[in-house]
Structure 1
Amino acid sequence: MERTIINTNIRLNLNRPEDRQAWNYLQALDRKKYKSYSRAVVAAVNEYFARQERLAADPYLETREKEDAFLQKVLETIREGLQASGAGLAGLTALLQGIHPAAPPPEPVMTDEDLDTAMDFINSL
């Protein structure tokens, strides 16, 4: 099998922030994951253009990805909160069961004097 190798170079202008960032990424490259700059550049270029094609085919892909990430963050936060509360749902259920509605105020007791006053008022009409 014949190997076809194309040699090309890239030029990074370290005065430009995005070029400097790319250079910093290449310098901090995980050599166990990427054996060479070429492997890292190939992976990055392929991922970038494949994503551009997916976005062109599905304009709402990015929105759904953001919504999914947000939902995942909400679920993780709720899960962490329940775990941090110790008893989780059992504690919340016990708390809610421990809440009782306030007792209604007692009915006012009518005295004979109150009844006489009420009858006098009615008779005055």
Structure 2
Amino acid sequence: MSENIRSTNLRFNLDKDVQNRAWQYLQTMDKKKFKSYSQIIAISLVDYFDRYYKKQDEPYLETREREERFVEQIVTAVENAMNRTLPVYLAGCMVGIAQITPQVAVATSEPEDADLDWDFLGE
């Protein structure tokens, strides 16, 4: 055995819900993705303890992650709604613009602001 390999035994009590579920996951895991029990157990332990220690350092980690997921869901929903409705809205605007006839302003001899008292500006 190599110096860099450590061996341990695992025991699952199938009468306990969490251990039974863990055993069932091991029995039904995708063998193409997870090559061995050792690989999936190592990945699971690292993930579990990384999150555990992050929560110790940052107690609101899970709350912030849930908020970020919620915001992402809102952004995605708005993007999807805009993707569905914006083309129709813009097409309607373009049709409306095409139907507007240009208005020509008629110039008068006296500007509209001729009767304003401009003294308030000071000199």
Percent sequence identity over aligned pairs: 35
Q: CA deviation at 1:45?
A: 0.5
Amino acid at match of 2:77: T
TM-score normalised by the chain length of structure 1:
0.62
Tell me, in whole angstroms, the C-alpha distance in 1 between the residues paired with 2:81 and 2:22: 38
- Does structure 1 residue 22 correspond to structure 2 residue 22? yes
Q: Which residue of 2 aligns with 1:7?
A: 7
Amino acid at match of 2:40: A
Q: CA deviation at 1:6?
A: 2.2
TM-score normalised by the chain length of structure 2:
0.63
Aligned pairs, number? 92
Q: Which residue of 1 aligns with 2:72?
A: 72
Secondary structure in 1 matching 2:39: helix
Q: CA deviation at 1:49?
A: 0.6
Secondary structure in 1 matching 2:10: coil
Match runs of 1:45-64 below 5 Å: 45-64=45-64
Tell me, in whole angstroms, the C-alpha distance in 2 between the residues paired with 1:92 and 1:15: 60
Q: Which residue of 1 aligns with 2:88?
A: 91
Q: CA deviation at 1:41?
A: 0.4
Distance change >3 Å, CA 5–CA 79, structure 1 → 2: same
Residues 23-54 of structure 1, C-alpha deviation per residue, up to 9 Å, x if partnerless? 12111222222210011101101111111111
- Ranges in structure 2 where 5+ consecutive residues have no aligned partner: 97-123
Runs of 4+ in 1 over 6 A off after TM superposition: none
Q: CA RMSD in A?
A: 2.2
Q: Which residue of 1 aligns with 2:33?
A: 33
